[in-house]
Amino acid sequence: MDRLSGLDASFLYLETPAQLMHVCAVMVLDPATMTTAYSFAAMQREIEIRVRDVPGFTRKVRGVPLGLDHPVWVRDRDFDIERHVHRLALPTPGGYAELMDLCAHLASLPLDRSRPLWEMWVIEGYRPDGAEGGGGEKVVVFAKMHHATVDGVSGSNLISHLCSLEPDAPPLVPENAPHPRDPGRGELLGRAVIGTATRPVTLVKVLKPSAQLVTRSIGRARRGTAMAAPFSAPRTSFNGTITSHRSIAVTDLDLDEIRRIKKVTATTVNDVVLAICGGALRAYLHERDELPDSSLLATVPVSVRDTSRRATGANKVSALFTKLGTDLEDPLERLRMLAERNRHAKEHHNAISADALQDWAEFAAPRTFGLAVRTYANLRLAERHPVVHNLVISNVPGPPIPLYFMGARIDALCPLGPVFHGAGLNVTVMSNAGQMHVGAIACRESMPDTDALVRHFPAELARLTAAVDASGSPAAAR
Kindly list the catalytic residues.
147
Q: Which residues pair with 277 in a beta bridge?
A: none
Residue 143 pairs in a beta bridge with 25, 120
CA dist 30 and 140 (Å) reads: 9
CA–CA separation, 241 vs 239, rounded Å? 7
- 301: nearest Cα among 281, 272, 322: 322
Question: Please, what sign has the CA dihedral across residues 393, 394, 399, 400?
Answer: positive
Contact predicate 314/153, CB 8 Å: no
Q: Could you tell me if 141 and 9 are in contact, meaning their C-beta atoms sit under 8 angstroms apart?
A: no
| Angle of CA points 316, 321, 327, to nearest 5° | 150
DSSP state of 194: H
Nearest-5° angle of CA 297, CA 303, CA 304? 120
Torsion angle, alpha carbons of 34, 36, 39, 42, to 10: -100
The three-class DSSP label of residue 62 is strand
Separation CA 440–CA 191 (nearest Å) = 41
Nearest residue to 349 (alpha-carbon basis) of 212, 218, 213: 213
CA distance 285 to 303: 30
Q: Tell me how far apart the alpha carbons of residues 31 and 137 are, in angstroms, rounded to a whole number.
A: 8
